[in-house]
Structure 1
Amino acid sequence: MSIEIIDSHMVEKFIENSEAFEKIIGERFTLLDANKDGVLSRDELQNDTNDSSYEDVALQPKEEIINLYDVLFEKFDVGKKGTLDRKEFGSLMKEVMLAKAHGFGDTPVSIILQEDSLLKKVF
């Protein structure tokens, strides 16, 4: 774990650097694709416990978590096939990271990050 100072501009700049962002998203996708079929199932996506930003989700009632994933798959599973391909996963992660950036705002904030957190890749 480390403590970092971060603001919205740092995250946005990282996302705009499409080569670096795509590399990191590709690595995370490969890590999550447990059965190596080239798509992420709901179970594989829910197993993403490596990112400390998901700790809040783990504290939610099971019904709320199910509803959250229903919404995510409704929005990002373009083909409605019940899985996310690499491009769909990238779109999801981009939106998640931009939401985090907007939450940080322009004022720098201190944040505790695990070494394998996606936000840690910003640095």
Structure 2
Amino acid sequence: MKITSVVVHALNDSTVAGFVDDTTPFEQCSKECFDELDLNADGVLSKEELRSGFGKLLPGIGYVSQPKEELNGLHDEIFERFDADQNGVVDRGEFKELLREIMLGVARGIGGSPVLVALEHGSLLMRAAQHEQNRG
């Protein structure tokens, strides 16, 4: 069993949206996340690469516990929506838009009141929390 480093942190919508809106750190995060998922280093993400590592980006939202059929449907929807050029893979720009939309959706879901969240090291929400701490 893998032991993961977890930190409890108070987040609200401005923590997450502020991270997305700060272009340079968010683009760096997007690049790092993309590189982690791009297992064959070909500069694009296949459905299999996305499937193998996507849950690590937002742990704790029940992604990995979903039935395989539901996850396959989710991946199909992601590709249908974010594979803008319909070439069967997600490139860096398309991936950045995917992360942006996910993070802004999470921000809307959290709302303006602080919520205590257990954050895993390296997750997108952990990066948003670190971004806020570094700015404050």
- TM-score bin, normalised by smaller chain: over 0.9
- Unpaired runs of 5+ in structure 1? none
Instruction: Tell me the residue number matched to 1:88.
Output: 94
- Unpaired runs of 5+ in structure 2? 1-5, 131-136
Q: Deviations over 1:30-89 (max 9, x none)?
A: 111110100000111111142353651221121111111111100000111111000000
Q: How many residues align?
A: 123
Q: 4+ runs of 1 displaced by more than 6 Å?
A: none
Q: Among 66, 70, 82, which residue is 1:64 paired with?
A: 70
For residues 74 and 47 of structure 1, the distance between their equivalents in structure 2, rounded to whole angstroms, comes to 18
Q: Among 80, 83, 87, which residue is 1:77 paired with?
A: 83
Instruction: Tell me the residue number matched to 2:47.
Output: 42
Q: TM-score, normalised by structure 1?
A: 0.94
Q: TM-score, normalised by structure 2?
A: 0.86
Aligned partner of residue 92 in structure 1, secondary structure: helix
- Structure 2 counterparts to residues 1-123 of structure 1, below 5 A: 1-48=6-53, 49-53=55-59, 56-122=62-128, 123=130
Residue 79 of structure 1 aligns with an amino acid whose one-letter code is: D
For residues 93 and 86 of structure 2, the distance between their equivalents in structure 1, rounded to whole angstroms, comes to 14
Residue 83 of structure 1 aligns with an amino acid whose one-letter code is: V
Aligned-residue Cα RMSD (Å) equals: 1.2
Contact 2:58 2:125 in 1 (8 A): no
Amino-acid identity (%)? 37
